Structure 1
Amino acid sequence: MNTQRHTAARHTGKRIGYVRVSSVGQNNTRQLDGVELDKTFTDKASGKDTHRPQLQAMLDYVREGDHLFVHSMDRLSRSLRDLQDVVEALTAKGVSVTFMKEHLTFAKDDSDPMSMLMLQLLGAIGQFERSLIKERQREGIAIAKAQGVYKGRKPVLDADAARTLREMAARGVPKVDIAETLGISRASVYGYLKA
């Protein structure tokens, strides 16, 4: 018991970065450019929910006294509820969270009502923007379908790569490894396996 207390006391806070881009092709280098970090977790996935491997790894990794840096709130989550839940979970754990773009920092026992209001307002605006984009996208697809010009998304993989994907899956290769090998998302892997 004393050993555990002693180990916990020796932990010196680390500077952790979390980076998220929506697709494999997007550049993630500018998000925390110039911020000195001890470790960075990077997801190439949508921010619609918290089911992201590197987000979960970061949440498991951080300890009391650590400081998390994120470029902006929408990089952590596009959902207001998820954004609040993640920030609350981190600060309850004793981890400080800084959003660089918004110039906001949240920490345990920090009851700054203005910062909380900004988190809720900016998070709600981000979620609203995402809803508008999705609505416009649906409207555009509906118009294109009505005009007979909508062909759907182009396949991410050619026929040979799709065959390789199915062979890897049949051999029991984990979906995340298949996605990484072929440079596509896990969602795309599942899509090809369903087709």
Structure 2
Amino acid sequence: MPSTIGYKRVSSYGQNEVRQLDGLTFDKIFTDKASGKDTQRPQLQALLEYVREGDTVTIHSLDRLGRNLLDLQGLVGQLTEKGITVHFVKENMTFKPGGQDSMSTLLFSIMGAFAQFERDLIRERQAEGIAQAKKRGVYKGRKPKLTASQVTELRELAAQGVKKPELAQRFGVSRKTVYEYLREVVPANSG
């Protein structure tokens, strides 16, 4: 029996996804709290594995599925090729298996391009703000994930043979962060 599936996405944990798909009922809902810059989102990947032919996936708007036109086109194509219907509530657009009419394809491409354009503008404004803050001497950059004493402890434990995944878990950081701290060259004391 076909399922109705909802997909929600907000960019950060501080944002609330409640308004998305409000009042609609689904058999299952997948919610990501991650950027839409690419498709590497845990709940999106889980949705792609979960859906079956005949299912319908409903998303609040195009920009909730992705902020990159190629990703949007790829995801909708991937789903419809599997026999899944994709519906965007805000744009009132539905894509069904077996191809689309030319007007739907055109509108989808235009709206997807606007979502990508909006993301590019956000990044551009952010870069301008950082550049101005640096000129004024008020930009400090991102706060370090670990204190100096934690970095020393992390390096000592690594030297003792503690595995990277265990270090990441112990210090509450990603493995990538562990590798970055282990790669950093510590400046020699000049004194």
Q: Tell me the TM-score normalised to structure 1 length.
A: 0.77
Deviations 1:87-107 (A, max 9, x none): 001001110001111111100
Match 2:165 to one of 169, 172, 188: 172
Which residue number corresponds to residue 98 of structure 2?
Answer: 109
Cα RMSD (Å) = 2.6
The answer for the alignment partner of 1:119 in structure 2 is 108
Code of the residue aligned with 2:129 in structure 1: it is: G
| Count of aligned positions | 170
1:42 aligns with 31
**In structure 2, distance between residues paired with 1:189 and 1:171:** 9
Task: Give 1:170 deviation, angstroms.
Answer: 4.8
CA distance in 2, matches of 1:82, 1:171: 32
Query: Aligned pair 1:189/2:154, yes or no?
Result: no
Asked if 1:133 is matched to 2:126, the reply is: no
Q: Quick check: 2:164–2:175 contact (8 Å CA) kept in 1? A: no
**Cα-to-partner distance string for 1:45-97 (whole Å, 9 max, x where unaligned):** 11111111111111111011000010111111100000000000100111000
Supply the AA of the counterpart residue of 2:165. Answer: G
Structure 2 match to 1:9: none
- The residue type equivalent to 1:29 in the other structure is V
Distance 1:115 1:54, change over 3 A: same
How far did residue 172 of structure 1 move? 3.4
Q: For residues 110 and 26 of structure 1, do their structure 2 counterparts lie closer, same or farther at Cα, with a shift above 3 Å needed?
A: same
Relative to structure 1, the CA distance from residue 142 to residue 117 in structure 2 (aligned partners, 3 Å threshold; closer, same or farther) is: same
1:22-61 alignment, distance < 5 Å: 22-61=11-50
Aligned residue identity for 1:172: P
Return 24-33 or 65-74, whichever deviates more: 24-33
Gaps of 5+ in 2: 182-191
- Distance between the aligned counterparts of 2:164 and 2:72, measured in 1? 38
SS of residue paired to 2:165 = coil
Gaps of 5+ in 1: 1-11, 183-187
- Give, as a single letter, the amino acid of the residue that structure 2 aligns with 1:129: E
- After the TM superposition, which segments of 4 or more aligned residues of structure 1 sit over 2 Å from their partners? 169-175, 188-195
Partner-residue secondary structure (3-state), 2:174: helix
Structure 1 residues 150, 75: closer, same or farther in 2, change over 3 A? same
Q: 1:20 — aligned with what?
A: 9
